Structure 1
Amino acid sequence: MSDNDTITDKDRRKAERAEKREARRKFWTQPLAQTRAEKRGEIWYQPMWLGTRQTGILDLNSDGRMKYTTVDGTTVTRERFNANDIESATIETAADYVERTSGGRVAGGALVGGVLLGPLGLALGAGAGVLAKQKHGGAEYLIVELNDGRTVTIEVARKHAIKARKIRDEITRTA
């Protein structure tokens, strides 16, 4: 037996011991459900939630099931989907979101104002469109696009900005 074979064998045993140590450490430092899911070869998600009653609540379970709940007066709306159904998840500022969703609000206001009231209406309509765009301030939105064409938009309160980024990173791991 040469020295190279002995070194390789020693390195292999050393690597096996390090792997066993890491497995024991993970057992005590990570959630038990995560350890079990990894042994079964499944994906495990850090359970978390985001939002308020006013903006809607997004709830992520450890098995990837998600629920988005909004309350409008006495009406409660629930959207249920799975993390595997997510096509993309992004965080946009209010200005970008409003510009993307309203498209031509300024141009539309100017067009309607110009048709109805002439040149003065043109200026007033454009101004109304700009004011409507600016009312959201520095808010951010978590936008989750699903494979079936649905889009879930969650307004992120300033106090939940870091949590929103964690959720985005957690659910886009598999997307």
Structure 2
Amino acid sequence: MMAIDESKEFIPVRIAVLTVSDTRGPDDDRSGDTLVARIEGAGHTLAARGILRDDRAMIAARLREWVANPDIDVILTTGGTGLTGRDVTVEAHRDVYEKEIEAFGTVFTIVSMQKIGTSAVQSRATGGVAGGTYLFALPGSTGACKDAWDEILAPQLDYRHSPCNFVEILPRLDEHLRRK
């Protein structure tokens, strides 16, 4: 059964938030604001924040830049996960991933089905790992960001969560790069 092991100390992780949008700016980035509030409310550190337009090469470049930054453990993007021609965030993520966390999209769909029914089929939320960093692409709606954080990411980014969590294996994500 899932539980928080109170005998363990909470370990904050450093999280970057990137909003992907052709229409949003710093003053009306509601999904980015939602994620930042939840990150900080949980006791984690906001390591970086940005907004980029829907451009696959630009998104992938920023993801690679943040993956290379040793002060960032997790990257969350919001926006660009839908089906329209401008939705290229998932492709940009997959350009960067070394490994995809395929179950993330599945679990996100299950969570979304409980909230929005079959409309959940229109999301392509995804997760992966690159250079010892977790990356997650979330839809651009505030509701989807809340659901992804509250139901999946908050517990998985809490070292005290059992039976397992993302934080406990974070130091081992890039072990293949350190082998000789």
Same fold (TM over 0.5): no
More helix by percentage = 1
Q: Give the TM-score, by structure 2 length.
A: 0.23
More strand by percentage = 1
Q: Give the TM-score, by structure 1 length.
A: 0.23
Q: Which structure's CA Rg is the greater one?
A: 1
